[in-house]
Structures are given as structure tokens and as C-alpha cells.
């Protein structure tokens, strides 16, 4: 059995695991299992990076009125819908989008939920700068924006001070899929890095730099583990 790093005030470790492309239900099951170990067994802060198969998720304040496509149209596009226990409204996840589930114990980070969301936003801002992309935050609208177009979403849930869900950064997402929703319940358009550059980077190439930015802001040292090692630790 592989032992998983636990929190230490001396080393302050955080684990990053890349799950690759994974269905929403399977990814949620992994996230839930890791969260449970963080809550009950003292596993350290964990970042899970991945891409999902096409899915529309509905947060706690969602309305199905913000899904603009019919069930038949969603079926034709291969998009499923799922409820989500995070904050926020309707959002889309799919290939070409970097999702990072952030499973962090906020008892080690000042029990500051708003500050945690700011860390996620700031990390994405810094990760985009080397690409020549200047995104911005908009008060009361979590995520990142390019003018009036949304390039990144944030939605979190917290149980016993341990966070779940996290962020989604649009790298090269199918625009037809974005048109099936009203993002976050707003009459705005989504945009991808691909729309702003001649050649967008690979989704996987942005995961480690983004995790590094979040870890640096939280004074954490990143340890990389494989998905096989995580599976064994969860067995």
C-alpha cells in the first residue's frame, strides 16, 4: 500500500496528480474519495488536474433555464448534465479545458474562503501572463474575464474546512458546446486561449505551472504523484 503524504507544518507538502481525460462521474468519485481522506485521515492538500468528457454541471444556485439546448441537441453533441454541490450556476466542462480540483484544508490557510478564491484567480492570471494574455477579475463575478468574455470559471464547496471542486480554464474548447449554456447564468460569451493566440498550448502543459502558482501563494511544496499511485493509495 502506498502511503499518502500528510500535513506537516515543517514541510507543508501538497500533492499534484494528473488524471488525464476522465468522465465527470469517475472524476467526481476520485475527488470525493480524496476529500474524505483529507477530512478523516489527514491527507495533505491535493490538486487533481484533468480534462472532462463533455458535461454541463449545475451548481447550487443553478436554474435549468440557463441550459439553452434541448435534451435532444445535447445528446447529439454528446453532452451530459449533472448536479454539482459547488457554489455558482451553470458551467460547461469538456475536452480542451483544464480543470483543477483543489482539495485543501483551509484550517491551515486562515479559514479564509474568499481569500482562497482570490488565490485561484491570481494563480490563473499569473499563468496566463507568459502567454501574453491579460485577463482580469470582476468584483462579484468569480473567475477570469477578457473584456466581457469569460475565460475561466471558479466554483468551490467546503466541508469541515476542506475544499472541493476548484477552477476551469478554457484552453481550446469547442465553441459549439459553449453555446449550449448561459455561463454562470449571465448573458456573456465564453472564450478560449486558442481564440487569443495563433497556437494555443497543450492543456496538459498548463497544469503544473498553474499548480505551482497556487502552491507558491499558499506556501506549499509540490510533490507529484501518478494516477496509478493515487489509485493504489485509495484502494
**Residues 2-16: pLDDT tens digits?**
788 998 878 889 999
Q: Quick one: average pLDDT of 93-102?
A: 98
Q: How confident is the model at residue 136 (pLDDT cuts 50, 70, 90)?
A: very high
What's the DSSP call for residue 130? G
Quick one: pLDDT at residue 4?
86
Contacts of 108 (CB under 8 A, 6+ apart): 7, 12, 45
- Cβ-contact 212, 219 below 8 angstroms: no
C-alpha 231/C-alpha 41 separation (Å) is: 16
Other beta carbons less than 10 A from residue 60's beta carbon: 13
Q: Which of 50, 5, 31, 39 minimizes the C-alpha distance to 221?
A: 5
| pLDDT one-digit tens code per residue, 148-165 | 999 999 999 999 999 999
Rounded-to-integer distance, Cα 1 and Cα 7, Å:
19
Q: Are 16 and 62 in contact (CB under 8 A)?
A: no
Average pLDDT over the chain reads: 93
Predicted pLDDT at 1? 66
- Output the nine-digit C-alpha cell for 56: 454541463
Instruction: Output the pLDDT for position 11.
Output: 83
Q: Where are the domains of the chain?
A: 13-234
Per-residue model confidence (pLDDT) at position 174: 95
Which residues are catalytic, by number?
184
Output the pLDDT for position 203. 96
91 with 153: CB under 8 angstroms?
A: yes
Residue 182: per-residue pLDDT: 84
Tell me the pLDDT band of 88, cut-offs 50, 70 and 90. Answer: confident
% of residues, the chain, pLDDT over 90: 80
Q: What is the pLDDT of residues 26-74, one digit of tens each?
A: 999 999 999 999 999 999 999 999 999 999 999 887 778 889 999 999 9
Please give the pLDDT value at position 10.
80
Q: Which three cell numbers stand for residue 42?
A: 489527514
233 Cβ neighbours under 8 A, 6+ residues apart: 1, 2, 3, 4
Tell me the CATH number for domain 13-234: 3.30.930.10
Nearest to 67, CA basis, from 161, 234, 194, 183: 183
Query: What is the grid cell recorded at 7?
Result: 500535513
The residue whose grid cell reads 465553441 is: 175
Q: What is residue 40's predicted lDDT score, i.e. its pLDDT?
A: 94
pLDDT at 102: 97
Residue 114 confidence class, pLDDT cut points 50, 70, 90: very high
pLDDT digits (tens, 9 = 90+) for 161-210: 999 999 999 999 999 999 999 876 677 889 999 999 988 899 999 999 99
pLDDT at 2: 79
Amino acid at each position: 500500500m502506498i502511503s499518502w503524504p500528510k500535513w506537516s507544518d515543517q514541510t507543508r507538502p501538497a500533492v499534484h496528480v494528473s488524471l488525464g481525460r476522465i468522465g465527470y462521474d469517475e472524476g467526481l468519485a476520485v475527488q470525493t474519495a480524496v476529500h474524505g481522506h483529507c477530512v478523516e485521515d489527514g491527507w495533505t492538500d491535493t490538486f487533481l488536474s484533468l480534462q472532462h468528457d463533455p458535461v454541463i454541471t449545475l451548481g447550487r444556485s443553478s436554474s435549468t433555464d440557463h441550459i439553452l439546448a434541448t435534451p435532444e441537441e445535447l445528446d447529439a453533441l454528446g453532452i451530459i448534465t449533472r448536479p454539482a454541490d459547488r457554489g455558482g450556476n451553470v458551467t460547461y466542462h469538456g475536452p480542451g479545458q483544464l480543470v483543477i480540483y483543489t482539495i485543501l484544508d483551509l484550517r491551515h490557510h486562515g479559514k479564509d474562503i474568499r481569500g482562497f478564491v482570490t488565490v485561484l484567480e491570481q494563480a490563473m492570471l499569473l499563468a496566463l501572463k507568459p502567454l501574453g494574455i491579460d485577463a482580469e477579475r470582476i468584483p462579484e463575478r468569480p473567475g477570469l474575464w477578457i473584456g466581457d468574455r469569460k475565460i475561466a470559471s471558479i466554483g468551490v464547496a467546503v466541508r469541515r474546512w476542506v475544499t472541493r471542486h476548484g477552477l476551469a480554464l478554457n484552453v481550446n474548447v469547442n465553441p459549439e458546446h459553449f453555446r449550449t449554456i448561459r455561463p454562470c447564468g449571465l448573458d456573456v460569451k465564453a472564450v478560449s486561449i486558442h481564440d487569443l493566440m495563433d497556437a494555443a498550448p497543450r492543456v496538459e502543459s498548463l497544469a503544473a505551472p498553474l499548480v505551482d502558482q497556487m502552491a507558491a501563494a499558499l506556501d506549499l511544496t509540490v510533490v507529484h504523484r501518478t494516477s496509478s499511485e493515487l489509485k493504489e493509495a485509495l484502494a
